[in-house]
Amino acid sequence: MILPATIHSSATSLRDDEFAGLCLTGDFVRHFGTTPAHRFSPPSRSATMDQCPSSNSLMVHALPVAYWYEDYGIGGGSKFADLIFTDPEAGESGGASVFFEYKTALSEVAQPICVLVSAQHHGTSPKQITSLLDRLHGTPKPDPLNGYEEYGCRNWDGYNAEPITEETLRYARRLLSAMPSTFGPPDIAPCGDGSIGLEWVLEAGPLQKLFLDIGPSEEWWAYWKRRTGEIGRLSGKSFTRSTPDILRRLFDDLSR
C-alpha cells in the first residue's frame, strides 16, 4: 500500500503576499496545518509547467512565486495523483490564498492533504518542491523575522516604541529576500520607531559598518561608515524590478 507520503508543507489561510513570503523564506518547510473545511473547485488542468496557464501561476508583485498543475488520476490507474486546488473564493491573484494538494492511493479512501505547491507528479518529496523554489528564487532561507508580529503593538519594548506594522514586516521580508550576501547575514533588531534595523559590523575590509533601516512602511535607508571614516547614505522606496540591482551595486561598492 502506498501511503499518502510525506507531508511537508502547508499554506493555508494566507494572503498571497504572505504566502509568497513563506515561499521565499522557506517557512513553508516548517509549517504543517490540517485541512480546512473548504469546498474545492479545481481549475483547468495542464500538463507541464511550460504549459501552465497564467491562472496556474502565482505572481506577487510581478515576481513568479510558484506554478502548479493538476492530474486527475485518482481512480484511473495512477498510484498517486496530485491535485492542487485553489479555493476559488479565496481572493484575487488566481485564488492564491489557499493551496491544497489532494492525494490518495488507490487502495485508500481519498483524503485531502494540505501541502504547498508542486509542479511535479507525485510532488510530495521535499526535494521536488525545494528544487522548484530554489530554481525560482534561490535557496530558501529561514525567516529572519520569525516572531516579529509580536512587535505589532505599541510600547513593545517598555520605552514607548512604535508598533511594527504588517506592511513594514511584509516589506522587510521582501527586501531581505533580495539582500546581497556580500557581508553575510545581518544582525536584525526591531526599532523603536516602528522600523526594522539591519546592521553589518565588519572586522576587516574597507567597510567598518553598514546600517540599513527598513520602514516604517515601504522605505529603506542605508548608511555606513568606511574604515577611512567616510560616511555615506542611500535610500529607496517600494520594491521594484531595479531594487535588487540597487542593493547589489551598493554592496559591491562598499566591498571595494
Partner 1 sequence: MFSDGDAAENGDVWFRVLTQKDHIKRGRIHHSAFTGNAISSPDPNKNRPWSRELSGRLRSKAGTIKNIEDFAVAFCDKLTKAGGGTKTFCGVMYAKVCAIRKPYRDILTLGVFFTPLKADPAHADVTFSNCIGETREAREALMLWLTDQVEGLHHPGQVHHLPEANDRVSG
- Burial classification of residue 145, based on how many CB atoms lie within 10 Å of its CB (0-12 exposed, 13-18 middle, 19 or more buried): buried
How many residues at the interface with partner 1, by CB under 8 A? 32
Asked if residue 199 binds partner 1 (CB under 8 A), the reply is: yes
Give the nearest distance from C-beta 178 to partner 1 in angstroms: 21
Asked if residue 203 binds partner 1 (CB under 8 A), the reply is: no
Q: What is the DSSP string of 103-134?
A: E--TTS--EEE-----SSTTTT-HHHHHHHHH
Query: What is the identity of the amino acid at 42?
Result: P
Cell 521582501 sits at which residue? 174
Q: What is the grid cell recorded at 100?
A: 491544497
| DSSP reduced 3-state for 12 | coil
Calpha distance 84→114 (Å, rounded):
9
Nearer to partner 1, 31 or 225 (CB): 225
Q: Are 99 and 115 in contact (CB under 8 A)?
A: yes
Asked if residue 162 binds partner 1 (CB under 8 A), the reply is: yes
| Per-residue mark of binding to partner 1, 173-192 (x: CB under 8 A) | --------------xxxxxx
Nearer to partner 1, 119 or 210 (CB): 210
Cell 512587535 sits at which residue? 151
Asked if residue 195 binds partner 1 (CB under 8 A), the reply is: yes
Give the nearest distance from C-beta 163 to partner 1 in angstroms: 9
Calpha distance 190→181 (Å, rounded):
21
Asked if residue 17 binds partner 1 (CB under 8 A), the reply is: no
Nearer to partner 1, 87 or 162 (CB): 162
End-to-end C-alpha distance for the chain, whole angstroms:
60
Asked if residue 224 binds partner 1 (CB under 8 A), the reply is: yes
Give the nearest distance from C-beta 144 to partner 1 in angstroms: 10
Give the nearest distance from C-beta 209 to partner 1 in angstroms: 6
- Please list every residue from 117 through 156 that binds partner 1, using CB under 8 A: 150, 153-156
Q: Which residues are at the interface with partner 1 (CB under 8 A)?
A: 150, 153-162, 187-195, 197, 199, 201, 209, 211, 213, 221, 223-225, 231, 233
